């Protein structure tokens, strides 16, 4: 007996073929909905972390114990951690079901949540440039949704994965060294954050490809015992620490679009070079629209916002 959504299908029944057909049609939309739920939760977590960054001990200046103590005793940071954790679980499920070159860029559409919170809750108004950004982001998300398709696991080239990860680590190390003398440290930090999150995304795709079992959720014990999980956690933890450090040194309006652009770039490259994904014109257009729209949303703070964005 096989579970399909909430419908029980008995092998050999007259409805089995029609149910499978419905499942194939619904699966792509499921990928999109899970991805959007994941990005909404993660962006909410980022928003709470940005709020908590003010007044926190500066990472790199205070001791690690003091920084950790300040974070875990701040309810905003802990709530943000809970939101991002649930979002990450949904992201894992989405990467197991769809192409990483589609899922990761679609995650960028979550920036719209921050705009909605500002307009609906804080009663702020958008200037024309920001409305253009909203429109481009929505159009990009729609393009990616139309392009969505379910994948039943993906084989990958382990050697290419290792090479791309090595290049990302080397590039990140060079930027961190150069950042010591940078006049605007948040810029290089944001790019390294994007490298970390991009590496985490492609490692997550590799993890789900190795751990997926037909007919079962990918979020299972198989993932806990996979060595790739440690690499996924390490990449994301380093990214989160550097993101917090970037927020303490610069504006979110600069940091967020830079890290998203870098994360999307390395993820799309991994999708093509490692997982054999095909980037169609529609998918490429959707990615470009989302990156451009997100950048416009952060070029200028919301028109009624006070202080740094």
Q: What is the C-alpha separation between 277 and 283, in angstroms, rounded?
A: 11
pLDDT higher than threshold 50 for residue 3? no
**What is the structure's pLDDT at 306?**
46
Per cent of the chain over pLDDT 70 is 77
Three-class SS state of 123:
coil
**What is the structure's pLDDT at 173?**
94
CB atoms < 10 A from the CB of 206, how many? 25
Three-class SS state of 216:
coil
**What is the structure's pLDDT at 227?**
84
- The string of pLDDT tens digits covering residues 50-60 is 777 777 777 76
- R_g over Cα of the chain: 20
**What is the structure's pLDDT at 170?**
96
pLDDT higher than threshold 80 for residue 191? yes
Q: Considering only CA atoms, which of 89, 83, 115 is closest in space to residue 35?
A: 89
pLDDT higher than threshold 60 for residue 300? no
Confidence band of 145 (pLDDT split at 50, 70, 90): confident
Q: Average pLDDT in the 218-242 region?
A: 81
Total-model pTM: 0.70
Q: Who wins on pLDDT, 33 or 51?
A: 33
Measure the CA angle with vertex 168, ends 293 and 235; round to 5°: 85
**What is the structure's pLDDT at 77?**
87
Confidence band of 140 (pLDDT split at 50, 70, 90): confident
**What is the structure's pLDDT at 214?**
52
Q: Average pLDDT in the 222-243 region?
A: 85
Token reading at 176: 């961190």
Under DSSP, the state recorded for 214 is T
Q: What is the C-alpha separation between 181 and 281, in angstroms, rounded?
A: 40
Q: Average pLDDT in the 78-88 region?
A: 90
CB atoms < 10 A from the CB of 199, how many? 28
Q: Average pLDDT in the 219-247 region?
A: 82
User: In this predicted structure, which of 3-17, 53-67, 149-163 has the lowest mean pLDDT?
Assistant: 3-17
Spell out the residues 6+ positions from residue 150 whose beta carbon is closer than 8 angstroms to its own.
24, 27, 28, 30, 31, 97, 98
Three-class SS state of 198:
helix
When mean pLDDT is compared over 20-29, 126-135, 208-217, the highest value belongs to: 126-135
Mean pLDDT over the full length of the chain: 77
Three-class SS state of 296:
helix
pLDDT higher than threshold 60 for residue 233? yes
Cβ contact 181:188 at 8 Å = no
Residues in the chain: 309
Q: Who wins on pLDDT, 68 or 254?
A: 68
Q: Considering only CA atoms, which of 5, 19, 25, 156 is closest in space to residue 95?
A: 156
């Amino acid at each position: 007996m096989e579970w399909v959504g909430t419908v029980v299908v008995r092998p050999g029944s007259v409805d089995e073929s029609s149910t499978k057909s419905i499942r194939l049609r619904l699966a792509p939309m499921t990928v999109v909905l899970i991805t959007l739920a994941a990005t909404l939760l993660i962006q909410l977590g980022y928003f709470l972390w940005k709020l908590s960054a003010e007044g926190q001990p500066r990472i790199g200046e205070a001791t690690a114990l003091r920084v950790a103590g300040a974070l875990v005793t701040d309810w905003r940071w802990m709530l943000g951690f809970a939101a991002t954790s649930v979002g990450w679980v949904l992201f894992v499920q989405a990467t197991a079901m769809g192409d990483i070159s589609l899922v990761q860029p679609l995650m960028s559409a979550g920036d719209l949540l921050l705009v909605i919170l500002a307009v609906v809750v804080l009663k702020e108004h958008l200037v024309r440039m920001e409305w253009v950004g909203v429109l481009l982001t929505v159009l990009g998300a729609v393009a990616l949704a139309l392009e969505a398709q379910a994948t039943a696991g993906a084989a990958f080239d382990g050697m290419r994965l290792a090479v791309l990860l090595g290049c990302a680590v080397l590039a990140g190390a060079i930027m961190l060294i150069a950042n010591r003398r940078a006049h605007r440290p948040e810029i290089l930090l944001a790019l390294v954050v994007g490298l970390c999150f991009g590496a985490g995304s492609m490692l997550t795709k590799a993890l789900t490809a190795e751990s997926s079992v037909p007919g079962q959720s990918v979020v299972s014990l198989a993932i806990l015992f996979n060595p790739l999980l440690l690499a996924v956690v390490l990449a994301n933890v380093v990214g989160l620490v550097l993101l917090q450090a970037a927020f303490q040194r610069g504006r979110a309006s600069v940091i967020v679009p830079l890290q998203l652009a870098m994360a999307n770039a390395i993820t799309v490259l991994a999708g093509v070079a490692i997982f054999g994904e095909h980037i169609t014109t529609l998918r490429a257009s959707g990615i470009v629209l989302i990156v451009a729209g997100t950048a416009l949303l952060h070029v200028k703070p919301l028109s009624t916002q006070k202080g740094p964005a």
